Amino acid sequence: MEDLAGYRREIDEIDSQLIPLFERRMDVVREVARFKKVRNMQVLQRDRERVVLDKAVARLRDPGYAAEAERFMNAVMAISRAAQRRDIGGALPREAAPLTGKVGYYGAPGSFSEQALADYFGEDRERTACAEFEDVFTALRDGEIDYGVLPIENSSTGAITRVYDLLGSYGFFIVGERRLRIHQNLVGVAGATLDTVRAVYSHEQGLEQSSRFLAEHPGWEQAVFHSTAESARLVADGGDPAKAAIASERAAALYGLEIIAPAIENSRHNATRFIVIGRALAPAGADKVSLAFSLDNESGTLYNTLRHFADRRINLVKIESRPTPEELWSYRFYLDFEGDVDSDDVRGVLAEISAGAKDFRLLGAYRSDRD
């Protein structure tokens, strides 16, 4: 057999035998799913999968194919786990009604978080300010608020890692998002100018996003404060033209400050993504999904997880990793991807990842806020 067509005919003949065997295997896999469901057993049985892999390699006539045989069987078992997970099922906690009630937000009145809240819920929504990121989570936990609004990433400075860590610690869901174009302004009391300023206060994000402007004034002290709005209030209360804040135009107007230098952010495309968190999923009309998980520190585990998105042609739009405090050099992964949580493809990828990952958690299903 020296021609390509002949090789292809032989492969087709082998495939004609493989597919019926695959179908037969999947029939048995679904019987196993029913067995596990009745007995409330976990889908993933790591010891059993290791036995399957060892047996597959042992059956090879040519041990040079050992690595390929393991990859082949890992793919087969991933498909099997997904089918079992789909059959076993499980209801997702859902918020059926519109998002009503009191909303907490990070920062102070006049903050960008408050602006995101107003854009998402409306200016008239009852709200309460929270001084720290975790205060939003604890207020939601204690029933003081019904939803929370927090920044999670900036287009210039990246992820707000503290918020990711808190998402991993509390059992709440992302139910919405809002993207804001962020214009940072140098603000001060009446009479303050670039010549009078000696110290600038802002949240670390405000300082980072305005670093190029600040580099032009190396003599200024840069002081990190709770939030951009709190910094504006501090400067207003002090009444000192030597002190300025980096804050929003909204905060300047609220606290009676003047804009000394407008739009000092590094990038004219500067934007921050804010998330809305709640106690239950609100997936009606959702086209974006967020999840978190950790993996064994073994070769190929991350690849084998992410390939499920490519296999189902699902667009993965963000991946973030954060160290886990429980284990040295272990990481928790946070993923955002496009899709409807009720679609077969999304349910399939969630089943596949949850079957092979540790500490899997669906973080949210919500409508994306596209620019």
Reported as a single tens digit per residue, the pLDDT across 152-166 is 999 988 999 999 999
Structural domains of the chain, count: 4
The answer on pLDDT for 322 being more than 90 is yes
Of 76-85, 123-132, 138-147, the poorest mean pLDDT is in: 76-85
Hey, which residues does 276 pair with through a beta bridge?
149, 176
Q: Is residue 205 located within the same domain as residue 138?
A: no
pLDDT value of position 1: 47
| CA 304 from centroid of its chain's CA atoms | 19
35: domain CATH number is 1.20.59.10
Give the CB-side neighbour count of residue 169, counting CA atoms within 13 A: 16
Q: Is residue 191 located within the same domain as residue 128?
A: no
Neighbours of 7 (CB within 10 A): 11
239: domain CATH number is 3.40.190.10
Q: Which helix (H) or strand (E) holds 308?
A: helix 301-311
Of 90, 125, 152, which marks where a domain is finished? 90
Q: Is residue 4 located within the same domain as residue 78?
A: yes
The answer on pLDDT for 273 being more than 50 is yes
Instruction: Give which of 227, 242, 267 is closest to 189, Cα–Cα.
Output: 242
In a domain, 96, yes or no: no
Q: Is residue 293 located within the same domain as residue 338?
A: yes
Query: Residue 195 and residue 199: Cα distance in Å, rounded?
Result: 11
Between residues 327 and 23, which one has the greater pLDDT? Answer: 23
Give the CB-side neighbour count of residue 361, counting CA atoms within 13 A: 17
In a domain, 13, yes or no: yes
Q: What percent of the chain has pLDDT over 70?
A: 95
User: pLDDT tens for residues 275-297?
Assistant: 999 988 877 788 999 999 999 88
Buried b or exposed e, range 342-363, using 16+ CB within 10 angstroms: eeeebbbbbbbbbbbbeeebbb
Mean pLDDT of 310-323: 94
Q: Is residue 289 located within the same domain as residue 367?
A: yes
Q: Is residue 257 located within the same domain as residue 192?
A: yes
Max Cα–Cα distance, the chain, nearest Å? 91
Query: Residue 239 and residue 256: Cα distance in Å, rounded?
Result: 11
Q: Is residue 137 located within the same domain as residue 274?
A: yes
Q: Is residue 327 located within the same domain as residue 293?
A: yes
In a domain, 38, yes or no: yes
In a domain, 95, yes or no: no
pLDDT value of position 180: 94
Q: Is residue 247 located within the same domain as residue 176?
A: no
**Phi/psi at 291 (5° precision):** -150, 165
pTM: 0.72
What 3-state class would DSSP assign to 133?
helix
Measured in residues, the chain has a length of 371
Question: Residue 91 — pLDDT band, cuts 50, 70, 90?
Answer: very low
59 in Cβ contact with 73 (< 8 Å):
no
Cβ-proximal residues to 138 (8 Å cutoff; 6+ apart), any chain: none
Q: Which helix (H) or strand (E) holds 365?
A: strand 358-366
Query: Residue 273 and residue 12: Cα distance in Å, rounded?
Result: 50
197 in Cβ contact with 217 (< 8 Å):
yes
Give the CB-side neighbour count of residue 312, counting CA atoms within 13 A: 23
Between residues 25 and 2, which one has the greater pLDDT? Answer: 25
Per-chain mean pLDDT for the chain = 89
Cβ-proximal residues to 225 (8 Å cutoff; 6+ apart), any chain: 201, 202, 203, 231, 234, 245
In a domain, 97, yes or no: no
| CA 334 from centroid of its chain's CA atoms | 5
In a domain, 174, yes or no: yes
171 in Cβ contact with 250 (< 8 Å):
no
Of 36-40, 98-102, 227-231, 321-325, the poorest mean pLDDT is in: 36-40
The answer on pLDDT for 97 being more than 70 is no
Q: Is residue 289 located within the same domain as residue 371?
A: yes
pLDDT value of position 327: 78
Question: Active-site positions?
Answer: 272, 274
In a domain, 107, yes or no: yes
The answer on pLDDT for 359 being more than 90 is no
pLDDT value of position 88: 67
In a domain, 302, yes or no: yes
N-term to C-term CA, the chain: 58
Question: Residue 44 — pLDDT band, cuts 50, 70, 90?
Answer: low
Q: Is residue 155 located within the same domain as residue 274?
A: yes
Q: What domain range is 229 assigned to?
A: 185-261
Mean pLDDT of 224-228: 92
Mean pLDDT of 225-234: 93
107 in Cβ contact with 129 (< 8 Å):
yes
Q: Is residue 81 located within the same domain as residue 108?
A: no
Q: What percent of the chain has pLDDT over 90?
A: 63
